Structure formats: structure tokens, C-alpha cells
Structure 1
Amino acid sequence: MKKIAWITDTAAQLDEAFVQKHNVYVLPLTVVFADGTYRESIDLTQEEFYGKLRSAKTSPKTSQPAIGEMLALYEELEAQGYDLAIALHLSSGLSGTFESAQSASEMTDFKVYPVDSKIGSFPMVKMIEAGDKLFAEGKEAEEVIAAITDMTARSHLSFIPSSLEQLHKSGRVSGTQTFLSNLLNIKLVISFEEGKPVMKEKVRSDKRAKSKVMNALRADMAAGAVPEVAAIHCNNAADAESWKNELLQEFPDLKVQVVQLSVCVGVHAGEGTTGLSWVAY
């Protein structure tokens, strides 16, 4: 049986037990504040990031792993005796990480198969789990990549920013839009479509915004199977737990977990953001 490594980035927000179980190597995304550059999960914890974000006069920027860092990892994996690696990265619609992985894979003799998740967070976890299962069944890399690519089309992630303040600071919405949103209590529902976050709904009140996301989930559940859902959040575990409980009241057999989003999402969406993510089957 071939020795296979998984490579991903901190958009997936994997815990250490998962990393060890699935032989995953995680490249950190980077946040650039006025006082310096910080690697997610290495130089900066979630708590430290949001503390700095609250006091930052200018919005931080995000940055992808350097090609040199990728090449060093590929060489390390080859030296460890791995036969190949699958590099599953944050959507190319959000970051250049996937394109960098493509370029780096062409600079080495080690077999690396870059894959664009076309999303972030929870679905990336499910893609690695599914791919690892297929490898255990004896499938070839090309078959695993085809299965993961199919999953990207069935993956869903929608989130509701608590306010438009951070979206304004990061240049995603205007000051006028932010002012009117605060005045009228307008909430945005942002969902991934073809690898890019798209504003799907603009509604009055958080309750209506959540209803829009729930209706999308119900539609997928009616069309097929959705065995597991993640209540996602940016430093807002309390509201995510509340949403988890609401889901379990309506769907008692549904598996629901609470998942913290990458700080790179927090740079744009802002603290307090909540949402749901799932993969339909």
C-alpha cells in the first residue's frame, strides 16, 4: 500500500487528533497587521487575533503560504518516504494558495496533486476523510481526486456577518451601505458559489437571515442526504451553540458540530459572524 500524505492550509481548521489520524500537513495562512506578520495557529491564536482586530486602526491583510515553504514541505515528505501527496487548499476564488501549490508541484519530482476545494472550513475536513477512506479501499490518486472534485459541487457554506463594520474596513462594502445596514438592521447572507463568496440575501433581522440559510439546508435534505452539519462562527461560539440546538430540535438524528472559522475569514467577515456548512449526498 502506498504511503500517502495530505497537505492543506489553516482554512480547514483541523484539530491535532485529525491531523495525526489522517497524516495531514498544514501550511499556515498569514495575517498582516500594521505591527507585523503572523502565521495562523503558530504566531497567533484565535483569541489574540480578535483582540488585535478590535484595536486595529487599519484592517489587516491576509497572505498565502510562500512557494518556497511548499517546496520545502514536498522535499520533507519525499525524504520521509511518502509516495505522493494530495494538496487540498482553500478556494482559489479567495486565495492564491491553490495556484501556488500548482506551481510548486511542477518544481519538484515528488508527486503532488493540488486540488481546489472551491470552499473552506468544514467541507475540507469531509473531503480529506472521504479521500482517505478511498485510499484505504485501494483507489488510485486520480480516482480520489475525481471523488473530491465531485464533493466540491455538493459542498455548502453560508455565513451571516454580525455587522458590516469589518466588511467596510476590509473594503468589501461602502460606508453608506454600512451606515444604512446598522440603521435598518439589515443582515447579509453570504454563500459560496463556484468557489467565490456571493451575497445571496439582504434581509431585515438576524432571524430572517438564519431562516434563509435553514431553507437552503432543508432543500438539500429533501433532495438527498445531509448526515452532518457544522455551525460555523468567528469568535461567537455561544450563538453557534444556540444554532446547533435549534438544528437538533428540528432534526434530532442530525450530527451537528460547532466549528471555528479561520481568522482569515474574520479579517473580512468580522467577529460575531455565524453560519452553517454541510456536504450533500
Structure 2
Amino acid sequence: MKKIAWITDTAAQLEDAFIQKHHVHVLPLGVVFSDGSYRESIDLTQEEFYDKLRLSKVSPKTSQPAIGEMLSLYEKLQLEGYDFAIALHLSSGLSGTFESAQAASEMTDFNVYPIDSKIGSFPMVKMIEIGNDLFAKGKDVEEVVASINEITSKSKLSFIPSSLNQLHKSGRVSGTQNFLSNLLDIKVVISFESGKPVMKEKIRSNKRAKNYVTSLLRADMNNGNVPEVAVINCNNAPDAEIWKNELLQEFPTIKVQVVPLSICVGVHAGEGTTGLSWVTY
């Protein structure tokens, strides 16, 4: 068998055991506060990030891995005897990481196949798992890349910010929208469409917003196979666990897990965000 390297970024939020099992090399996304730049999962934990975010008067910025960092990794993998690498990255609608990977892959004679996940979080994990299963079945790299690109259109992620405060601080919504949302308890549902987060619904109360997102999952379950669901969250595991238990009561046959979102999502969505993500087969 060919020696395969997987490359991704911290948007996938991979667990250490998964990284070791699948030989994944993770490039850290960054967040820039007024006191400096921090690499996710290296310089800053989730807890430390949200502590700093609460105290920050100015919204931090996000940053992507440098092309030089990518090139160094590609050269290292080539020296280690890998035949090629698949570089699966956060949606190009959110970050320039995929474009940088494309540019870096053209600067090296090591075979790198960049893929735009068109999403983030849980579906990226499934794409790596499915890719490895296909390699184990004898598929070649072009077939695997084509299959993963198909999965990007079947991947779903919708989330509900706890408030619009952070979206306002990061310039995504106006002060008037933020004020009215807090005053009237209006929740916004944001879903990924064609690789970009789109404001789908404005709904009174968090319960109704959750019911709306669950209805999207229910519709996909009626139209296809959804064996797993992730309850995604920005430093809001308690509410995510509640939603998980609600889902298990309604859908006892599916696997449900609670998954943290990248702090780069937290920069915009804000602490307290919850949502659902899944892949339809």
C-alpha cells in the first residue's frame, strides 16, 4: 500500500487518539488579540481563549497557517517517505487556508491533493475516516479525493449563537440588530450553504431555534441515512449535553456526540453557541 499522509487544520478539532490512529498532521489556525497572536491548541486552549474573549474590548481577528509552514510540512513528509498527502481544510468561504494549500502544493514536487471541505468541524472528521476506509478497499487517491469532494455537498452544519453580541463586535451584524435581538429574545440560525455561513432564520426563543435545526436533521434522516450527529458548541457543553439527550430520546438508533467548535468560530459566533452537524449517506 502507498504511504498516505493526511493534513488538516484545527477547524476539525480532532482528538489526539484520532490523530494518532489516522496519521493526521494538523496545522493550527490562529487568533490575534491586541496583545499578540496565538496558535489554536498550541498557544491557547479553549478555556484560555474564552477567558480572554470575555475581557477583550476589541474583537480578535483570525489568521491562517502561513504558506511557508505548509511547505515545511510537505518537505518533512516527503523526507519521511510518504507517497502523497491529502490536505483537507476549513471552508474557503471562511478562511484562505485552502487557497494557501493550493498555492503551496504547486511550489513542491511532493504530491499534495488540497480539498476544500466547504464546512468545518465534525464533517471534516468523517471525510478523513471515509477516505481511509476507501484506501483500505484499494481505491486510488484520485477516487478518494473525488469521493470526499462529493461528501462536501452532503455535509450539514447549523448553529445558533447565544446572542448577537460577538457577531456585532466582529462586524457581522449592526448595533441595531444586536439591540433588537437581545430585547426581543430573537435567535438567529446560521447554516452552511455552498461553503459559506448564511443567516437562515430569525426565531423567537432558543427552544424554537433548536426545534428548527432539529427539523433540518429530521428531514435529512427521512431522505437518507444519517448514522451520526454532532452537537457542536462554543464553550457550552452543558447545553450541548441537554440537546444530545433530547436527540437520543427522539432518535435512539443514531450515535450522538458533543463536539467543541474551533475558537476561530468562537471569534465570530461567540461563547454559548450551540448547533448540529451531520453527514447524509
TM-score after normalising by structure 2: 1.00
Corresponding residue of 2:115: 115
Distance in 1 (CA, whole Å) between partners of 2:91 and 2:17 is 24
Distance in 1 (CA, whole Å) between partners of 2:278 and 2:81 is 34
Corresponding residue of 1:252: 252
- 1:102 is paired with a residue whose SS is helix
- 1:8 is paired with a residue whose SS is strand
Gaps of 5+ in 1: none
Which deviates the most, 58-67 or 134-143? 134-143
Alignment partner of 1:61 is 2:61: yes
Alignment partner of 1:236 is 2:228: no
- 2:139 is paired with a residue whose SS is coil
Residue 184 of structure 1 aligns with an amino acid whose one-letter code is: L
Alignment partner of 1:86 is 2:86: yes
1:11 Cα offset (Å): 0.0
1:133 Cα offset (Å): 0.7
1:189 Cα offset (Å): 0.2
Aligned length in residues: 281
Corresponding residue of 1:267: 267
Distance in 2 (CA, whole Å) between partners of 1:7 and 1:103 is 15
- 1:5 is paired with a residue whose SS is strand
TM-score after normalising by structure 1: 1.00
Distance in 2 (CA, whole Å) between partners of 1:67 and 1:272 is 33
1:137 Cα offset (Å): 1.2
Taking only the aligned residue pairs, the percentage that are identical comes to 79
Distance in 2 (CA, whole Å) between partners of 1:3 and 1:225 is 31
Corresponding residue of 2:74: 74
1:88 Cα offset (Å): 0.1
- How well do the aligned residues superpose, as a CA RMSD in angstroms? 0.4
Alignment partner of 1:200 is 2:191: no
Alignment partner of 1:97 is 2:93: no
- 1:27-80 CA distances to partner (integer Å, 9 max, x unpaired)? 000000000000000000000000000000100000000000000000000010
Gaps of 5+ in 2: none
Residue 260 of structure 2 aligns with an amino acid whose one-letter code is: Q
Corresponding residue of 1:186: 186
Corresponding residue of 2:152: 152
Residue 89 of structure 1 aligns with an amino acid whose one-letter code is: H
Alignment partner of 1:26 is 2:26: yes
- 1:239-269 CA distances to partner (integer Å, 9 max, x unpaired)? 0000000000001111000000000000000
* Runs of 4+ that moved beyond 3 A: none
